[in-house]
Each structure stands twice: as structure tokens, then as C-alpha cells.
Amino acid sequence: MAERRLLVLFGSQTGTAQDTAERIGREAKRRHLRCRVEALDSCDVANLIHEPLVVFVCATTGQGDPPDNMKMFWRFLFRKNLLAGSLCQLDYAVLGLGDSSYPKFNFVAKKLHKRLLQLGGNPLLPVALGDDQHDLGPDAVVDPWLVALWDKILALYPLPPGLEIISPDVRLPPKYTLQYLPEDSPHPESYLLQPPAPRAASCELHPFAARVLSNQRVTAQSHFQDVRLIEFDIAGSGITFSAGDVVMIQPQNCPEDVQQFCQLLHLEPHRRFVLEPTEPGTALPPLLPQPCTIQYLVTHYLDISCVPRRSFFELLASFSTNELEREKLQEFSSAQGQEELYSYCNRPRRTTLEVMWDFPHTTSAIPADYLLDLIPRIRPRAFSIASSMLAHPERMQILVAVVQYKTRLSKPRRGLCSTWLASLDPQQGDVRVPLWVKKGGMKFPADPATPVIMIGPGTGVAPFRAAIQERVALGRRGNCLFFGCRYKSKDFYCQTEWEELVTQGLLTLFTAFSRDQEEKVYVQHRIRENGRLVWELLTSGNAHVYLAG
């Protein structure tokens, strides 16, 4: 009988595709299939020719782009020299996750499906196109598609004699177990954040621990929005960047939340443990040190402030010993309960920690072994770099709007990363932030004679500050900036810097302060008023136009 094995590969930017891939992995285990779930860039693509059965789950980002963790796979798959029948032994299915409000809706999934077909693959089902815009979210498509998928797979690979599908009421074993170390075992402090050796290029697995040099509020104290200009010391990191590049920052949970979480789950923050995979061959989470403390796990790894997904409620329900709580959790994890889950969780942006407060009996019964199955890891956040190395060597600056808003919940919602960054005070000693740089989507013209028109309202001006600093340092003129904010006196970022450049004839600046007069004025009004100049730059100067929000 053919070996019953399934490979689930995902390309995920925000974690939704990964969550769905892991759900398929769990459902495969219930059907007694040997199953691996991996990011597309983590698998050896050349081995696809030996795989009998693969399910691809992929999101589409930006303007029809593949997520970061499938970019290498994508390049390989579209190589011209791949033979037409090279995947003829492969049975596959593609599940796409997208948003129909974008023109390139599920572009990656559609293109992947077509390419696998060209290479000789055998599709088990038509490509599934999950849509965020649907009232029930992508699950409206995913749920029925998975029912059809399992029918197809079990027809090809029937259950071995004497085995039945494991009921949803039976909890699957955790991915890892936490083996606590004796209290008196030696303490290697290896897991404390160390700046990497200069030879290691900083990346997600090896971020550079950059020292915070300054953290300055650039909006008036009376202004509703707190915006920070933060400067990092990147000397010795080997990091280089140019205008338009992006810095990725790995945030952490605030101490109060970490303390509450440990109290709710009766965890001892200073206990040390090592992780043991339940199944041989399962890789350990690359961003967790071994051994590790509970405090480190909860502070740096578990995303306790994210809005939990449906899979969270499904697993949480299985721990519940309280009938009322279990019924509610089961409702939230059912297909019928998705609208109610949306109004309980997504609409008010209720966090994982707050949900745990609402289900205290169940929360206190969560076994520590399941923490990594239950709660996703904290994802890095991207910021446009707001400075140029030519103007500030060995330094990097970012412009950060601190995210805070109200929903129907009494406590204001706060952005995890921006709130953490705003709280860092370099006066309090050596404060460090784990970061690495990614190439951005904006490329500025190489020809020094080409003028640039930059439209950057609010913190959207960040990449243009980097570009203007870079171009001025290279002696390039033809820099035209349209900047918009609410009030000249409250949120006109970098005002002095722009005005000096205007005086020196290095910058043409147009400002729109929307609330400084009766009629609201925005950047588009200033563009229209200066239409002749803009048209001249475009037609005679062949200007490039850049827009950032």
C-alpha cells in the first residue's frame, strides 16, 4: 500500500496562511497521515519531485506579491529550465488566502496552481480562493473546500484496516513538551540578547541588538498623536541600507501583561525548561534559546496581545473543565459561531490575554506543554527607514506613530511594537532593540538629473526624509516634497530640517495643514494648485513620482 504521507507548505506574511496550514496538519493527523507542515522557503524545492501529495496554502501580499517566506521557492518554480513533466507524480491542491478589495485578488495562488499544472502536477481540486472580505472571512471558502479535500485524499489513501478518524473531541498531543530543569541546575546566560558577531549578517534568525541613542517626541504634547523619531546605533553590525529600505523590528510584551499571563496560568516566570519535540524530526522553534525561562518565552515569543484566531478557541475548548465556558468556546470555534466570534473578538480587537481573563477556569487548566500550539509567535514589524547613511553614518532613524485607539472595550487598544518602542528610555542605561534590514519596494532614480516628486502625508514622509538626505549628500537637486499634517504648530515633523534645505535651494516644499483653517486642505489640493509645476517636471524633466501613506 502507498505510504500515507502529506506535505503541507505555506507562504504566510501575517500568520493566517500558517494558521490554516497547521489546521490542515492537525486534520491530517486525525486521519492517521504522516504530515509535515513547513514554510515554502524552508523546504528543499528540488525534493518536490519525490513528494506524492502536497497541499500549498499561500497568501498574496501587496500588489500580487508572494509572502517573504516563499520568495526563493517562487523564483525557483518559475525558472525557464524546469521540464514540463517534472512533477507528473505529484497530487496537489492549492488554497489561496486573499482580499477581494485588491485588484490582484489571490494572484499568487492562481499563478501557483497554473504553474504546477504546467509542470505536470495533478490537481485534486480547483484552486480555493479564500476572501477576507466575506462576512465569515476566508473560512467561508476554506471549510467546504477542506471537506472535499479529505474526501479526495481518503479515496487515494484509505484509512488502514482497524483505524478510524480520530474524533474532534480527542485532543491531539502537543508539538513540544516543556521539560523543566531542576531549580539548582547551572544558569548559562546565553539567551540574553547579545549583539551578534559582526560576521553574522543580521536577519530574522540573527537580529542585531541595536542600542537606542535617542527617543524624541516630534509632536506637541497637546497633540492627540504621539509620534517618535528614534535613533539606533548600528556601528559594527555590518548593516547597510539606502533610501526606501525597511527595518524589521522584533517587539516584546510589556512586563505587566507578562506578569498577568503567568499569574492566570500559574506559571513561575523564573523556571527554566528545554523543549522536546513530540515527534522525531520536528525542528525546534529557531528563535527560542535552549534552555529558556518562562519569562523569556512569554516576553519575547508568545503573542499574548494579538487578536486570537478560531483555532485558538478550538484548542482552548479542549482544556475546559467548566461546562459554561466550554460551550461558549466550542461555539466560537464552530462554523456557525463565526459571526459571534467576530463581534466578540475581531471587531473590538480583544487580545488573547483579555480572552483568557474571560475564561478563567479554562485558562487555569491550560497545560504548559500546549502554549506553543495555542499562541502564535510575536511577528516582526516593518518601518520605513527615515535617515540616510550618507547623512548619519553608523546610525539609523525611524519615525513611529504610537498606535492607540478606542473600541467598545473600556481599555484603549495599543500597538504592541510602537508602544514598546515609545517606552524605551536611553537615559535608563543600555537599551537595545533587535532589528534587521529588508530591501524596500521604492527605488530612487540613478540618473542625478531626474527630479523626484514625493508625496508623504504624516509619517508617510519617513522614506522621503531618507531619500532627501541621500540625494542632498550626493548633490542632487530636483527634490520636490508635498507634506501634509493637521497643524503647523503640532505635527509638522522635521520642520526645521525642511526649512533649512528650502533656504539652501535644495528642496521645493509644499505643505498642507488640514485643520489650520476653516476649509480642510490636503496634499491633493496642493498638487492641483501647483499642477503646472508638476506637469512640467513630469513632461520636461521625466520626474519620478513617489507616494507613501
Q: What is the pLDDT of residues 49-65, one digit of tens each?
A: 999 999 999 999 988 99
Q: Does one domain contain both 96 and 228?
A: no
Q: Which domain holds residue 388?
A: 208-251+380-438
If we measure between CA atoms, which residue out of 60, 52, 57, 58 comes closest to residue 24? 57
In a domain, 495, yes or no: yes
Q: What is each CA distance from 354 to 241, 260, 303, 323, 411, in whole angstroms?
A: 39, 10, 12, 20, 10
In a domain, 334, yes or no: yes
Q: Does one domain contain both 518 and 539?
A: yes
Q: What is the CATH number of the domain that holds 412?
A: 2.40.30.10
**Angle 361-367-368 (CA atoms, 0-180°, nearest 5)?**
125
**pTM exceeding the 0.85 threshold for the entire prediction:** yes
Q: What is each CA distance from 136 to 92, 214, 340, 352, 458, in whole angstroms?
A: 26, 44, 10, 20, 33
In a domain, 316, yes or no: yes
Q: Which of 125, 156, 187 is the last residue of a domain?
A: 156
The residues, any chain, with a CB within 8 Å of residue 121's CB and separated by 6 or more, are: 87, 88, 90, 91, 92
Q: Which of 338, 359, 374 is the last residue of a domain?
A: 374
Q: Does one domain contain both 279 and 327?
A: yes
Q: Does one domain contain both 57 and 150?
A: yes
- Length of the chain as a residue count: 549
What average pLDDT is seen over the chain? 94
Q: Does one domain contain both 384 and 308?
A: no
If we measure between CA atoms, which residue out of 46, 426, 21 comes closest to residue 232? 426
In a domain, 188, yes or no: no
Q: Does one domain contain both 63 and 45?
A: yes
Q: How far apart are the first and last CA of the chain?
A: 57
pLDDT digits (tens, 9 = 90+) for 142-185: 999 999 999 999 999 999 999 999 998 899 999 999 999 998 77
Q: Does one domain contain both 247 and 259?
A: no
- Cell numbers linked to 352: 488573547
Q: Does one domain contain both 333 and 347?
A: yes
In a domain, 470, yes or no: yes
Q: Which of 353, 374, 395 is the last residue of a domain?
A: 374
CA distance 322 to 326: 6
Per-residue confidence (pLDDT) for residue 188, from 0 to 100: 57
Per-residue confidence (pLDDT) for residue 187, from 0 to 100: 66
In a domain, 194, yes or no: no
Q: Does one domain contain both 152 and 281?
A: no
Q: What is each CA distance from 404 to 84, 392, 460, in whole angstroms?
A: 52, 30, 18
Residues of the chain with pLDDT under 50: 190-191, 193-198
Backbone φ and ψ for 3, nearest 5 degrees, come out as: -65, 130
Backbone φ and ψ for 211, nearest 5 degrees, come out as: -80, 135
- How many domains is the chain built from? 4
Taking the alpha carbons of 354, 360, 362, 366 in that order, is the dihedral positive or negative? positive
pLDDT digits (tens, 9 = 90+) for 390-437: 999 999 999 999 999 999 999 999 999 999 999 999 999 999 999 999
